[in-house]
């Protein structure tokens, strides 16, 4: 991932900030921020097919923070996951970037999946999505909350560029890593 | 069986399974945090319905404005269950309704229904 995106804080002059959120992420926060994003996209007259893709990727990224994120703070305290999501426009493209903490144990498989996704063409992503759906018919995987790998595929499917990602050590967080995802919708 | 109705919420669709008329409807948005928890009772109800001998056609109308990935997974389970019932002789038609410009939802309908060999289904543009 280019450092300008991974470490972007303020919009460049050529960019329009659309939405950003940073803090605790729960289902109700996903609902509230998602609706705010929809209202903002409507106010900016973003075409409906683009707005749907932006909203879809936003929800997948937000739930990804909840389902795969590591809690902020002490591990023995039950608190909600924290993270941030920013949405901005540059030219005709809409950028979404999420950040959250993940455990050192979870990092390698996520990194592997994201790296593999980057190698796929749009047609291969669609094929992989259908293949995974078909395989679910024969799977006993009863993970209560996950999308069986469909979440990252959905983000990739909505995107016009391969998903960029960065895993950066966070020294003050007990070996946990900060995962940054950046996707572009058009 | 007693009619199953659930009101729509911000995260979950309206559910109306009218067993008497064999008309089943799900309509709205589907992105609950725990899709398996929401769809579990719905799958159980359909399983119970499918286990009984059916006379006449059952129509399942699905009209979603948005479906997230974990709900997609649950819908795959639901449609697989219906496909199995159809394979065992039940007459089931699924109508997947999409807004005219919602190509992503139409494509999801193909993804979910395209490999169902026994179900009768149609993907229909709806205003």
Contacts of A86 (CB under 8 A, 6+ apart): A8, A17, A19, A20, A21, A95, A96, A97
Q: In this predicted model, which residue has the larger pLDDT, A78 or B40?
A: B40
ipTM: 0.93
Residue-wise pLDDT tens digits, A32-49? 999 999 999 999 999 999
Query: How many pairs of residues across A and B have Cβ atoms under 8 Å apart?
Result: 84
Say whether residue A147 is in contact with chain B using an 8 A CB cutoff.
Answer: yes
Written as six digits, the tokens of B103 are 């190509």
Residue-wise pLDDT tens digits, A91-141? 999 999 999 998 888 899 999 999 999 999 999 999 999 999 888 776 655
Look at phi and psi of residue A158 and say left if phi exceeds 0, alpha if psi is from -120 to 50, else beta. alpha
Closest among A97, A133, A158, A44 to B66, alpha carbons compared: A158
Closest among A57, A49, A37 to A155, alpha carbons compared: A57
Q: Please count the residues of chain A.
A: 186
Annotation: CATH topology of B4-126: Transcription Regulator spoIIAA (3.30.750)
d(CA A170, CA A72): 11
Please tell me the predicted confidence (pLDDT) of residue A145.
47
Q: Considering only residues 87 to 126 of chain A, which have any Cβ-Cβ distance to chain B shorter than 8 Å? A: none
Could you give the domains of chain A?
3-185 (3.30.565.10)
Say whether residue A42 is in contact with chain B using an 8 A CB cutoff.
Answer: no
Q: Are strands B14-18 and B23-30 parallel, antiparallel or unpaired?
A: antiparallel
Q: Please, which residues bridge with residue A101 across strands?
A: A178
Domain ranges of chain B: 4-126
- Which residue from A34, A49, A154 is facing B101, i.e. has the nearest CB? A49
Say whether residue B73 is in contact with chain A using an 8 A CB cutoff.
Answer: yes
């Amino acid at each position: 991932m280019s450092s300008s995106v991974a470490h972007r804080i303020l919009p460049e002059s050529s960019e329009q900030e659309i939405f950003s959120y940073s803090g605790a992420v729960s289902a109700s926060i996903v609902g509230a921020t998602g609706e705010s994003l929809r209202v903002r996209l409507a106010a900016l007259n973003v075409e409906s097919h683009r707005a749907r893709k932006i909203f879809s990727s936003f929800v997948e990224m937000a739930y990804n923070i909840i389902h795969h994120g590591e809690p902020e703070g002490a591990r023995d305290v039950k608190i909600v996951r924290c993270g941030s999501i920013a949405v901005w426009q540059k030219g005709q493209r809409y950028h979404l970037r999420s950040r959250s903490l993940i455990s050192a144990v979870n990092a390698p498989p996520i990194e592997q999946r994201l790296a593999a996704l980057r190698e796929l063409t749009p047609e291969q992503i669609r094929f992989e999505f259908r293949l995974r759906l078909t395989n679910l018919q024969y799977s006993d995987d009863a993970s209560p909350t996950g999308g069986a790998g469909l979440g990252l595929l959905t983000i990739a499917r909505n995107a016009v560029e391969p998903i960029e990602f960065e895993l950066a050590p966070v020294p003050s967080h007990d070996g946990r890593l900060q995962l940054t995802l950046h996707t572009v919708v058009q | 069986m007693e009619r199953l109705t659930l009101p729509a919420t911000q995260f979950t669709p309206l559910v109306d399974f009218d067993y008497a008329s064999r008309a089943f409807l799900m309509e709205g948005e589907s992105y609950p945090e725990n899709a398996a928890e929401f769809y579990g009772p719905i799958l159980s109800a359909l399983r119970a319905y499918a286990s009984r001998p059916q006379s006449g056609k059952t129509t399942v109308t699905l009209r979603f404005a948005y479906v997230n990935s974990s709900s997609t997974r649950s819908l795959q389970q639901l449609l697989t269950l219906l496909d199995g019932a159809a394979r065992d002789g039940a007459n089931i038609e699924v109508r997947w309704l999409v807004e005219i410009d919602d190509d992503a939802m139409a494509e999801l309908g193909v993804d979910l229904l395209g490999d169902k060999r026994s179900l009768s289904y149609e993907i229909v543009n709806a205003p």
